[in-house]
Structure 1
Amino acid sequence: MTRTALAIPEADRTPAVLTHLSPLAGFLLPTLGNVLGPLVAWLALRDRSPALDQQGKEALNFQLSMWLYGVLIGILAFVLFSLGILGGALGTAAGAQDFGAFAFLGTFAAFFVFFVPLLLLLSIIPFIFMIVAVVRVSAGQPYHYPLSIRFVR
């Protein structure tokens, strides 16, 4: 299925830009503000024009996708971190001090080498794409976020 890119008329550019900037509400309402901002903007503006409807859906879908990715990474980090700690504790309790120490150190190393940078990227990437979207939309070009799952069609 292909998406039809609707050019953004001059009168709709400012509301479209504000829609793409609405995830900044996450600074006021941590955790869900970045999703609630685009949701409120899309619900308020979707009937004004097809271009605003499309750009609102794009912003909302992207923020929902980033939220989902963050939750999945958090769950994966928690499970792997818990298994590493459990393995280290069981190894130490069983008398294998070297195994217990290796499991503890490996768990912390994996957390700081893999999960911390991944979560940092997941925090930075939305801002970069938001800036690109604002620049494109202010020039009248529609924007489609990469890495976005289409929850709202």
Structure 2
Amino acid sequence: MEAINMQTLSPSLSDRQWAAAAHAAALFAALLTSWVAGVAGAVAALAVWMLVRDKSAFAAEHAKEAVNFNLSMFIYAALAVVLVVFTLGIGLILAIPLWIVLALVWIVCTLVAAFKAYDGQAYRYPVTIRLFK
């Protein structure tokens, strides 16, 4: 199955709002639950995807992208935890800066994605593992 080229779509205001909501919901859910690593964000974006998957290809693609990005951030943060455990704490030297970078990338990219979605533009998150196609 070929991915939809979001740039050829001309989304309505409602489609753009749903697409932006997928990114914003992920941001708010993760921040409100202190799950900065991405699980709550992925769940929130998945909920938006379930609501719009049959109604708006544009919003559905943005929601899938948000799910994938938030799951990717969770995986990267979890790998840093594994590093710390297996090095008996010495890995904190690498893990703490990694967590800070991940948090900053996550916040900035999520905000950029929400604004791009609201403007009707396609956005692909960097460093994303595309698990949910």
Q: TM-score, normalised by structure 1?
A: 0.74
> Is the partner of 1:28 in helix, strand or coil?
helix
Alignment-derived partner of residue 111 in structure 2: 131
Gaps of 5+ in 1: 85-106
1:21-49 per-position Cα deviation (integer Å, ceiling 9, x unaligned)? 11120133333312211111111121111
- The CA distance in 1 between the partners of 2:92 and 2:83, in whole Å, is 11
Counterpart amino acid of 2:74? W
Query: Of the candidates 7, 21, 29, which is equivalent to residue 25 of structure 1?
Result: 29
Structure 1 segments (4+ residues) deviating >4 Å = none
- In structure 1, the residue matched to 2:71 is 64
Asked which structure has the greater CA Rg, the reply is 1
Which residue in 2 is equivalent to 1:148? 128
TM-score by length of 2: 0.84
Match of 2:92 in 1: 111
Residue identity over aligned pairs, in percent, reads 28
Q: Which runs of 5+ in 2 are unaligned?
A: none
The two structures, once aligned, show a CA RMSD in angstroms of 1.9
Answer yes or no: is the 8 Å Cα contact 2:19–2:60 preserved in 1.
Answer: no
Residues of 1 paired with 2:3 and 2:15: CA distance?
A: 23
Which amino acid counterpart does residue 4 of structure 1 have in structure 2? Answer: N
Which is richer in helix? 1
